[in-house]
Amino acid sequence: MDHVVLPEYQDAGEVFSKAKVYETHNKSGEKVQLDTHSSVPSLFTYFLDGSRRTYKVADFGSTDGKFLPIIAGQIGTAVCQRRNRRLKKHLILQENVIAIPNRVGDEFDAIAVEIPKIRVPKNRSDNISITKVLKYQADKTDKRFEDLAIAKIQVTMLDMEVNLIGKMVDSNKLTTNQMLMIDGSLQFSNVSDKLSIFQHVIGVSKSFNPNISGLLRGSSNKQIGNYLTSLEFGERTPVFKYEAANNPSRNKSIKIGAWYLRIRPKNKVKRPLDGIIKIEKIATTKSQQEDGFETDMVNEISRSILQERNVTCYGSDTRWTNHLYPIYLTEMFLKSSFVSDSFFLNIF
């Protein structure tokens, strides 16, 4: 279990481009109503989720008088494949990690070698251990040190997701009609030289920053959350473009198109933004980077996503209104692969 609270939204620091519309045939920026009863098969065959559990296991007193936390974690990423209307495991990557501050001097390399040697019996034929030692930057900052350590673990998990996507591309698994859906944002770091692997990949966020302003013509002070409440079931926004994530200097060469879609009828939800998801796609070709995405492709992706909303996990998860069922099952599969908290902490 996490011992700190991270920011609520992955896109809290997101800055959209002033070029309001990032699609080819909707330059007026109008909402688009989609067919909610489409019988065309979904474009999606693969579903990816990443997850982590973090634990504060110790504190470290540095030579300059700082008291710094040591954070351990279980991280993993999994892909499930749908075949003949059944969802099964396709790939899974897992690591047990520990993040220590950059205040141990020349001892880090020795620590990184010794810690993985510590093993705790998991069963008669298997052991559990820390497989990777991470170093987080505990320099002067306005952020909590616990947050910095967990952020390092989070980035490592995201790198695992990119690694897994690369494996699928190398084995020719992803095509126009066999796309991959990722649970969460596509704001990965250090992927500017790997854009091609995201050609058939989209990201779906169950939560998003509703306070972004300046996207809508003639209403520079109107926040996106206010605009989204008017979306009807099966209706989407135009595609917006952004080039920067939480850190404006990161991924500045990567252009991402984002749009919002209501996947639940208004009379079936409690809160104004329930049932609205955010969809992202990385521009992987020169034409997409310059002109945006083909409107027909955006509509087809959106119609496919509408087909993924049922059966729901109603009642078993407070986020059920924003869940897409294959992603929900992938998330449950991945989390069930982690060992219990008490067992994991026995390593220490």
- SS3 of 202-213: the string is EEEECCCCCCCE
Nearest residue to 99 via CA among 4, 167, 9, 192: 4
- Residue 83 falls in which region: left (phi positive, over 0), alpha (psi -120 to 50) or beta: beta
Closest alpha carbon to 152 in 254, 75, 250: 75
Q: How far is CA 303 from the centre of its chain?
A: 21
Q: Mean pLDDT, to the nearest integer, of 34-60?
A: 94
138, two tokens:
């505990």
Confidence at 328, pLDDT banded by 50, 70, 90: very high
Mean pLDDT of the chain: 87
Residue 1 pLDDT grade (very low, low, confident, very high; cuts 50, 70, 90): very low
Query: Who wins on pLDDT, 278 or 212?
Result: 278
Paired tokens of 22: 């990032």
User: Regarding predicted confidence, which is higher, 318 or 302?
Assistant: 302
Query: How much is the pLDDT for 223?
Result: 85
Task: Name the pLDDT band for 190 (thresholds 50, 70, 90).
Answer: confident
* pLDDT over threshold 80, residue 141: no
Name the DSSP class of 3.
Answer: S
Residue 250 pLDDT > 60: no
Asked if residue 333 has pLDDT above 50, the reply is yes
Are 135 and 148 a contacting pair, CB within 8 Å? no
Q: Sorting pLDDT into bands at 50, 70 and 90, what band is 313? A: low
Q: Name the band, by pLDDT with cuts 50, 70 and 90, for residue 65.
A: confident
The pLDDT of residue 192: 83
Mean pLDDT of 55-64: 87
Can you give the pLDDT at residue 15?
Answer: 59
Got the DSSP string for 176-245?
TTBEEEEES----SS-TT-GGGGTTEEEEESS--TT-BS-STT-TT-BHHHHHTTPPTTEEPPPEEEEE-
| pLDDT computed for residue 249 by the predictor | 47
- The pLDDT assigned to 222 comes to 78
In which band, very low, low, confident or very high, does the pLDDT at 4 lie, cut at 50, 70 and 90?
A: very low
| Entry pTM | 0.90
The predicted structure's pLDDT at residue 7? 44
Q: Which residue has the tokens 């892909």?
A: 79
Strand partners, 168: none
